């Protein structure tokens, strides 16, 4: 038909028929290391009323492709913007074209006019040619039957043309990332002769339109740009705070909401200065969605139409967290006031009086923290240099008469002296010295960068080389500093999530889930919610679930354990299901039998012997039915009576073969099927022909027509081979599929693998004790798809001689692990793997609590699992056992035999503590002892003879004294009977 635009590219497949989320995801992730570009000319219905986008699996396929496709450079997804123009559809309601991961392509006619089918939206990146009016030339291509056709039209034809141009750019520079390609399209597309009323120039100098994006793609310009392209800086994502102020959307009015964005300037890992994509995440309730139009104005004044009125959209659902995307602010500054406008234009179809509401909205800004390239201008770099004077306008140079030679760094304008500081104009660059003298140089010196007008300006203080004067524009760092590859700043220590590279000059980012690491894929500590498995951080899912990349998802109902979604990802089967060639089935298929002998205890379906059609067990003697042309004889499938194989003796014995011979049936070709030998087959002309030499029995002439093999060969899908191919194992002279996790194996069980690699589901696996695991266990490292042991007692290592972390009880020294040997009075800390001191006085203590002593050092006493130089209160020293013993009850201090002092409220009496003193004693509150009364007192309250409270026999108490009754009474007193009181 014609020469295509993709000289060396090849197509792989076409998606058609009923499409589900799973079908989409599988198509978008088909061989992402082999396929570079995915071209899609499909999406939600272009009916002017549908709002739909990729479901969870397809979204994950996009994200995985961008992150891991093309070996980390990112898969390229090219998408047709849509053909709903006649239905007044708007491609912002198509979540596929509205994604930052897709390159949305519109169409233009040859004349540059808008085709009748074209949709408008702010997410369109560029356009290519397609069919227009009947008088316009059309797209010529081949159909499914390899015939020429001009019926391929619409944006469905434009998207593959764009994919072809991108393929040319990738052929010129295969190291372009997915974002590099979008940048190159923005920079090289041209408005040219394209007719659109909404062409505008954004603040970065790019012409852009809702019909054609940044213009018509230019294959030659893209290839030229790709050949000299430098990879853009890392993508930063800034999620601004959500504005949750509810606003009413009234008919025939405009709602405005202003948000002051910072571009996440407080977070260097998310700081966005120069924009790429801008996403508005919005929730709106409304009685008729099609009456809404939405606009977004950037801080630089660029206005994008995020949504236009849609006549056929009668939905009352509004938008719930729907993401609108615009590319029109490309390379503009992110910070400043963003204005969201929502217009409600009621249609004739609207009967509802309830107004709509803006519930919430937020900005997601994608871009870089440093300028990805020089600002675009309308003239070439040479013209730009020539139009700019070298001198600063504030500088005033005078030229003395000088006739000698100028320095080599002076331009032809001349000089006023011989040195590089005497040039009137510099040939290359200049910088200013400390005394403000301008010095011409061939290249900017260390610590400087080339700014405008040939001037070398100073880098940030810690930078050695840089592309600008800010602290996030460093390229290399001064001694003692390391370059953060994400923020491009120079820092003294690598933060969490980064590691120091082998040259010890760059802090490189760890893999996604690592908190700390020693290399990209060798984690030593994980982020919250993850755990370390070997050298990788992952969620360990419970049995019956698998990790989908975000969370643990349930296996297919037939799987007990699995490696992914679907029935073909089972590792073991649930009760009532059996493993058959990597799938779990409820009953064995024809040609398989149920095997009960697996080591794991799980039953599986094994393939029957090649000679059987169906069977009840292994080998050629358990057949239950036979292929055509064979008869079942006591469990064996045999050729129907083969008379030519019979010996003369058997012929002579008579029987059926004798009948065949006497009547010359073989020569007459009657019952010819009985006349072919074992190694022959009956062809279409009823002639016996020899089987292919590798077969013992066959049904045709080809090498894959075998149904039985000689003892020296094994049967493999109709062929007799010398040995089973990779991915299969030999059992009963027949090749069977290995478990789907294995590359090679010695049996069908998961623990029978012999070699590992990338499994059938794209998971990288490593051999460990017969299993192909997705991660090596602790104490092992990845070595050519095996789990090799680390050095002794090492938990995480780089290789067999370089340990990075030891198991508990060992410490790291010179990249090897040594057993902890703590000194006396120390114990190993299980957390820090260091020796920490026991409590004071401990000779040995418990590992999990060093405050608990087991033995004490010399001259210390044990008491309640602690060691004391002096026994605590209420205890005494037991010199025989070096322990502190408890004093008797109510003792304050004591020795082995008696109390020395008592607690409050008790008094010492003959080595014991009492609450009340006995007769003849009183409680002395000062000495806290029971002191004896005066000899005349039986009881008392003090030492004196006047402190008596009771008297001994024959003495009478009088005013605290005990008196002898024989003595005379005081005047006016008498003894009253037996009373002792006067």
Tally of CB atoms within 10 A around 3: 6
Which CATH class, in words, describes the domain spanning 21-227? alpha beta
Give the CA distances from residue 817 to residues 781, 793, 795, 826, 837, in Å, rounded to whole numbers and listed in that order: 16, 6, 9, 20, 22
Q: Which two tokens stand for residue 500?
A: 């120091």
Average pLDDT for residues 414-428, to the nearest whole number?
87
Which fold would CATH assign to domain 826-887?
A: 2.10.220
The model's pLDDT over 73-102, given as tens digits with 9 standing for 90+, comes to: 999 999 999 988 888 899 999 999 999 999
Give the CA distances from residue 840 to residues 832, 837, 853, 919, in Å, rounded to whole numbers and listed in that order: 21, 8, 9, 48
The Cα–Cα gap between 474 and 732 comes to 66
Instruction: Note whether 210 and 198 are within 8 A (CB).
Output: yes
CA angle 923, 926, 929 (to 5 degrees): 40
Which fold would CATH assign to domain 906-963?
A: 2.10.220
Q: What is the pLDDT of residue 967?
A: 64
Closest C-alpha among 41, 46, 120, 122 to residue 87:
46
Element (H, E) at 109: none
Q: What is the pLDDT of residue 661?
A: 61
> Where do the DSSP E strands lie in 865-969?
866-868, 875-878, 883-886, 891-894, 899-902, 907-909, 912-914, 921-924, 929-932, 937-940, 948-951, 956-958, 961-963
Q: At what angle do helices 155-172 and 178-188 cross, to 10 degrees?
A: 110
Q: CATH 2.10.220.10: which residues of the chain?
A: 407-458, 826-887, 906-963
Q: Is 665 exposed, middle or buried (0-12, 13-18, 19+ CB in 10 A)?
A: middle
CA angle 317, 323, 325 (to 5 degrees): 135
Better-predicted residue by pLDDT, 237 or 583: 237
Task: Using the Cα atoms of residue 573, residue 577, residue 578 and residue 584 in order, give the sign of their dihedral.
Answer: negative
The pLDDT > 70 percentage for the chain reads 85
The Cα–Cα gap between 469 and 455 comes to 12
Residue 333 pLDDT greater than 70, yes or no: yes
The Cα–Cα gap between 835 and 322 comes to 57
Which fold would CATH assign to domain 236-368?
A: Jelly Rolls (2.60.120)
Tally of CB atoms within 10 A around 959: 10
The Cα–Cα gap between 359 and 285 comes to 7
Better-predicted residue by pLDDT, 808 or 758: 758
Answer whether 0.85 is exceeded by the pTM: no
Give the CA distances from residue 893 to residues 917, 927, 939, in Å, rounded to whole numbers and listed in that order: 19, 14, 28
Task: Look up residue 659 and give its DSSP letter.
Answer: H
Domain spanning 407-458, CATH architecture: Ribbon (2.10)
In this structure, the dihedral spanned by the alpha carbons of residues 245, 249, 250 and 255, taken in order and rounded to 10 degrees, is 80
Q: Measured over all CA atoms, what is the biggest interatomic distance in the chain, rounded to whole angstroms?
A: 177
Least confident of 63-67, 216-220, 376-380: 376-380
Closest C-alpha among 106, 367, 76 to residue 237:
367
The Cα–Cα gap between 126 and 750 comes to 50
At residue 921, the 3 state secondary structure works out as: strand
User: Which residues on adjacent β-strands are paired with residue 483?
Assistant: 490, 506
Better-predicted residue by pLDDT, 558 or 401: 558
Give the CA distances from residue 813 to residues 85, 620, 802, 806, in Å, rounded to whole numbers and listed in that order: 71, 62, 10, 10
Better-predicted residue by pLDDT, 10 or 469: 469
Q: Which two tokens stand for residue 364?
A: 């997601």
Average pLDDT along the chain: 83
> According to the per-residue pLDDT averaged within each range, which of 124-133, 177-186, 344-353, 463-472 is highest?
177-186
Give the CA distances from residue 511 to residues 187, 224, 482, in Å, rounded to whole numbers and listed in that order: 32, 34, 19
Residue 144 pLDDT greater than 80, yes or no: no
Q: Is 644 exposed, middle or buried (0-12, 13-18, 19+ CB in 10 A)?
A: middle
Q: How confident is the model at residue 765 (pLDDT cuts 50, 70, 90)?
A: confident
At residue 698, the 3 state secondary structure works out as: strand
User: Which residues on adjacent β-strands are paired with residue 874?
Assistant: none
The Cα–Cα gap between 973 and 952 comes to 21
Residue 655 pLDDT greater than 70, yes or no: no
Give the CA distances from residue 688 to residues 670, 680, 682, 694, 704, in Å, rounded to whole numbers and listed in that order: 13, 6, 5, 17, 18
Average pLDDT for residues 463-482, to the nearest whole number?
87
Q: What is the pLDDT of residue 973?
A: 57
The model's pLDDT over 568-614, given as tens digits with 9 standing for 90+, comes to: 778 888 888 888 877 888 889 888 888 876 656 667 888 888 778 89
In this structure, the dihedral spanned by the alpha carbons of residues 147, 150, 154 and 160, taken in order and rounded to 10 degrees, is 50
Q: CATH 2.60.120.260: which residues of the chain?
A: 236-368
The pLDDT > 90 percentage for the chain reads 30
The model's pLDDT over 281-309, given as tens digits with 9 standing for 90+, comes to: 999 999 899 999 999 999 999 999 999 99
Q: At what angle do helices 219-227 and 178-188 cross, to 10 degrees?
A: 130
Instruction: Note whether 517 and 534 are within 8 A (CB).
Output: no
Q: CATH 3.40.50.200: which residues of the chain?
A: 21-227
The Cα–Cα gap between 542 and 388 comes to 67
At residue 282, the 3 state secondary structure works out as: strand
């Amino acid at each position: 038909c014609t020469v295509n635009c993709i000289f060396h590219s090849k197509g792989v497949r076409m998606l058609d028929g009923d499409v589900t989320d799973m079908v989409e995801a599988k198509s978008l992730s088909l061989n992402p290391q082999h396929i570079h570009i995915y071209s899609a000319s499909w999406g939600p219905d272009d009916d002017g009323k549908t709002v739909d986008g990729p479901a969870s699996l397809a979204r994950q396929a996009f994200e995985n492709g961008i992150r891991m496709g093309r070996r980390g450079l990112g898969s390229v997804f090219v998408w047709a913007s849509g053909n709903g123009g006649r239905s007044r559809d708007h491609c912002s309601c198509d979540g596929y074209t509205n994604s930052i991961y897709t390159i949305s392509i519109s169409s233009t006619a040859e004349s540059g006019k808008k085709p009748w089918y074209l949709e408008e939206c702010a997410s369109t990146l560029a356009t290519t040619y397609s069919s227009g009016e009947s008088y316009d030339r059309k797209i010529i291509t081949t159909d499914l039957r390899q015939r020429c056709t001009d019926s391929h039209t619409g944006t469905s034809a434009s998207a593959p043309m764009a994919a072809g141009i991108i393929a040319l750019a990738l052929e010129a520079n295969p190291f372009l990332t997915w974002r590099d390609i979008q940048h190159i399209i923005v920079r090289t597309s041209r408005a040219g002769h394209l007719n659109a009323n909404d062409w505008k120039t954004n603040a970065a100098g790019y012409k852009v339109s809702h019909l054609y994006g940044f213009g018509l793609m230019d294959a030659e310009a893209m290839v030229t740009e790709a050949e000299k392209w430098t990879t853009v800086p890392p993508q930063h994502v800034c999620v601004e705070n959500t504005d949750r102020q509810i606003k009413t959307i009234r008919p025939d009015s405009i709602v405005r909401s202003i948000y002051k964005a910072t571009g996440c300037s407080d977070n260097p890992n998310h700081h966005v200065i120069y924009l790429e994509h801008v996403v508005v995440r919005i929730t709106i309730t409304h009685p008729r969605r099609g009456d809404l139009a939405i606009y977004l104005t950037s801080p630089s004044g660029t206005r994008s139409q995020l949504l236009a009125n849609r006549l056929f959209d009668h939905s009352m659902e509004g938008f719930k967290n729907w993401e609108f995307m615009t590319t029109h602010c490309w390379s503009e500054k992110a910070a400043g006031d963003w204005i969201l406008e929502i217009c409600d234009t009621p249609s004739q179809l609207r009967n509802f009086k309830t107004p709509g509401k803006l519930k919430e909205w937020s900005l997601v800004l994608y871009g870089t923290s440093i300028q990805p390239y020089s600002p675009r201008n309308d003239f070439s770099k040479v013209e730009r240099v020539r139009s700019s004077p070298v001198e600063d306008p504030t500088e005033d140079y005078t030229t003395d008469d000088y006739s000698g030679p100028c320095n080599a760094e002076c331009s032809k304008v001349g000089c006023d002296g011989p040195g590089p500081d005497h040039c009137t104009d510099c040939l290359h660059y200049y910088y200013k010295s400390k005394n403000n003298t301008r010095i011409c140089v061939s290249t900017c010196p260390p610590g400087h960068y080339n700014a405008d007008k040939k001037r070398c300006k100073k880098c940030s203080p810690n930078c050695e080389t840089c592309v600008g004067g800010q602290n996030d524009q460093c390229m290399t760092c001064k001694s003692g500093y390391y370059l953060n590859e994400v923020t491009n700043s120079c820092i003294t220590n690598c933060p969490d999530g980064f590691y120091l590279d082998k040259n010890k000059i760059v802090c490189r980012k760890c893999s996604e889930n690592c908190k700390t690491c020693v290399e990209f894929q060798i984690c030593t500590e994980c982020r919250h919610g993850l755990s370390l498995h070997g050298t990788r951080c992952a969620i360990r899912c419970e049995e019956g679930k698998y990790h989908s990349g975000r969370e643990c998802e349930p296996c297919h109902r037939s799987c007990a354990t699995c490696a992914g979604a679907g029935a073909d990802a089972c590792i073991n089967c649930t009760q009532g299901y059996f493993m058959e060639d990597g799938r779990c089935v409820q009953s064995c298929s024809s040609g398989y039998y149920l095997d009960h002998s697996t080591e794991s205890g799980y039953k599986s379906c094994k393939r029957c012997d090649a000679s059987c059609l169906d069977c009840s067990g292994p080998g050629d003697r358990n057949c239950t039915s036979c292929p055509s042309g064979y008869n079942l004889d006591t469990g064996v499938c045999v050729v129907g009576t083969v008379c030519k194989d019979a010996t003369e003796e058997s012929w002579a014995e008579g029987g059926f073969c004798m009948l065949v011979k006497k009547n010359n049936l073989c020569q007459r070709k009657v019952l010819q099927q009985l006349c072919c030998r074992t190694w022959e087959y009956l062809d279409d002309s009823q002639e016996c022909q020899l089987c292919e030499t590798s077969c013992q029995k066959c049904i045709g002439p080809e090498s894959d027509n075998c149904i039985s093999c000689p003892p020296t060969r094994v049967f493999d899908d109709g062929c007799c081979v010398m040995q089973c191919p990779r991915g299969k194992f030999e059992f009963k002279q027949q090749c069977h599929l290995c478990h789907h996790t294995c590359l090679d194996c010695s049996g069908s069980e998961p623990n029978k693998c012999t070699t590992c690699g990338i499994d059938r589901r794209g998971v990288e696996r490593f051999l460990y004790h017969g299993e192909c695991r997705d991660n090596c266990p602790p104490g092992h490292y990845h070595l050519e798809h095996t789990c090799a042991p680390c050095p002794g007692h090492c938990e995480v290592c780089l290789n067999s001689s370089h340990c990075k972390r030891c198991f508990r009880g060992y410490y790291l020294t010179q990249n090897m692990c040594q057993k902890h040997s703590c000194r006396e009075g120390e114990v190993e800390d299980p957390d820090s793997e260091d020796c920490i001191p026991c409590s004071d006085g401990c000779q040995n203590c418990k590992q999990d609590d060093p405050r608990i002593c087991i033995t004490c050092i010399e001259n210390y006493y044990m008491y309640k699992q602690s060691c004391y130089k002096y026994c605590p209160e209420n205890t005494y020293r037991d010199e025989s056992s070096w322990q502190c013993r408890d004093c008797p009850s109510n003792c304050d201090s004591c020795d082995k035999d008696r109390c020395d002092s008592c607690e409050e409220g008790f008094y010492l009496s003959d080595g014991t503590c009492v609450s009340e003193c006995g007769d003849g004693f009183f409680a002395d509150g000062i000495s806290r002892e029971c002191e004896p009364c005066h000899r005349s007192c039986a009881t008392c309250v003090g030492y004196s003879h006047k402190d008596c409270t009771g008297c001994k026999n024959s003495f009478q108490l009088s005013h605290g004294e005990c008196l002898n009754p024989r003595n005379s009474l005081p005047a006016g007193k008498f003894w009253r009977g037996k009373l002792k009181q006067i």
